[in-house]
Structure formats: C-alpha cells, structure tokens
Amino acid sequence: MFLTKQHLKMARTLGVAIAVTISLGACATYKEEFAGINSRLDQLDTKVQGAAQSAESANQSAQQANQRLDQIEARVQQLESAPRRQPRG
C-alpha cells in the first residue's frame, strides 16, 4: 500500500492533533499544581506580612524604651554631678 500525499498530509494532521491533545491534558494537570502552589504562596505571604507587622511594632516599642532610658540617664548624670549636700545634724 503506497501512501499518497493526501495520506501523508492526513497522518501529519492526525499526529499534530494527538500531540496537541496530550499537551492540553498536561496543562490541566499543571493548572491544578499551580493553583495549589499559588494557594500555599498566598498563605506564606500572609504569614510574612504578619511577621513584618509584629517586627515593626517591636521596633517601635524598643525605640520608645530607648528614649525613656536616655531621659533617665540624663537625669542620673545630673544628680551625680550636683554638689553633695551635707547631712543635717
């Protein structure tokens, strides 16, 4: 049986159709995997944002504590440099 140009063309078209069908089936599988990965990334992003907010809050609290310590240190130095009082009696 000899293949004519029409048969070759039909076989080629059929081969391309099969390849496209297989690749589209694989895409559906990848879409599900990507959806799972994207969901996990969204969860991680939410956790990272929460951690960043906590870190920012802790940083602000630490800065306020440092300011209070600086004020206390200035007062302590002032008291230490003041002339000593003589006790009464």
pLDDT higher at 17 or 46: 46
* pLDDT tens profile 32-59: 888 888 999 999 999 999 999 999 999 9
Helix (H, G, I), strand (E, B) or coil at 39: helix
Sign of torsion over alpha carbons 16, 19, 21, 23: negative
| pTM exceeds 0.85, yes or no | no
